[in-house]
Amino acid sequence: MNLFSLREEEIFKTLKDLRDCNLVIIGGYAVNAYTLPRFSVDCDIVLKDAKELRKIDKILLSRGYKPKVAFEDAPYSGSFSRYEKKLENEFMVSMDILIQSVVDRMTAVCFSAAWIFQNSERKTLRGKTIGEELKLKIINLDALIVMKTISCRSTDIRDVFMMLPQAKNEEWIKAEISQRYNFQERVSKLMEKVHSAQFKDGLFGVYGKFDQKVFEKHQKAVASLQNR
């Protein structure tokens, strides 16, 4: 089994142990419920309060995870905990547990856990490198697009590009972004990135190659969001 499969298998086994907990999956693993699956080395989980963390802490410790006290690479600020587990060849997987809210470190935009739970549903999560499936509570498609459009890192832009053609309510997405940030600035950044010379190579490197007509369909979906 290769490195990617080892990491993904560990996260799926962990999520299986956590499936009875009151949580919502966001981030890269949530993206996998809506589009071509991509690989992620960590899993982001939202809780309503710290009480549920005690239950999750017990499960993660029993699986060999250890709390990480200090780190600088997290995309979030605010109240959250990271648990890491060392696999074969010293490679790590991590679970980021966000409590009561999700605060984007770059923009300081805050999404309450109540909003995330309200905009979530039970969905099937599929692996990219392993033949595993799990049903868990996952943030819904439109809310995930909102969060990732506001964050607007390179990875987020690729994810938004892949998800937008399946969006349910573009007007709702625009309204939710506009309440929290400058909508035109975020969408202009999306447009600039997806039309850049290197974007396609980066996208295919993460998701694998697909037809040019499909790529152009996704570009049009981004332009449609801008023109709303």
* Residue-range domain boundaries for the chain: 1-139, 141-228
What is the structure's pLDDT at 17?
96
The structure tokens listed for 54 are 């005690």
Q: Which CATH number fits domain 1-139: 3.80.10, 3.30.460, 3.10.20, 3.90.930?
A: 3.30.460
Rounded CA gap, 216 and 95, in Å?
35
Q: Alpha helices, DSSP H only, in the chain?
A: 3-18, 27-31, 50-62, 113-118, 141-151, 154-163, 170-180, 183-194, 199-207, 212-227
Pairing of strands 24-26, 42-47: antiparallel
Rounded CA gap, 49 and 23, in Å?
10
DSSP string for residues in 152-202? --HHHHHHHHHHGGG-S-HHHHHHHHHHHS-HHHHHHHHHHHHTSTTHHHH
pLDDT along the chain (228 residues), means of 10: 77 94 94 83 90 93 88 69 85 91 92 97 86 91 97 94 94 96 95 92 89 91 82
Rounded CA gap, 158 and 150, in Å?
13
**Contact call for residues 105 and 75 (beta carbons, < 8 A):** yes
- pTM higher than the cut 0.85: yes
Question: Around 2, how many Cα atoms within 13 Å sit in the side-chain half-sphere?
Answer: 5
The structure tokens listed for 83 are 């648990």
Count of residues making up the chain = 228
**Contact call for residues 139 and 152 (beta carbons, < 8 A):** no
Question: Cα–Cα distances in Å, from 92 out to 78, 95, 174?
Answer: 23, 10, 37
| 2: helix, strand or coil | coil
Q: What digits encode the pLDDT tens for the residues 136-149?
A: 999 999 999 999 99
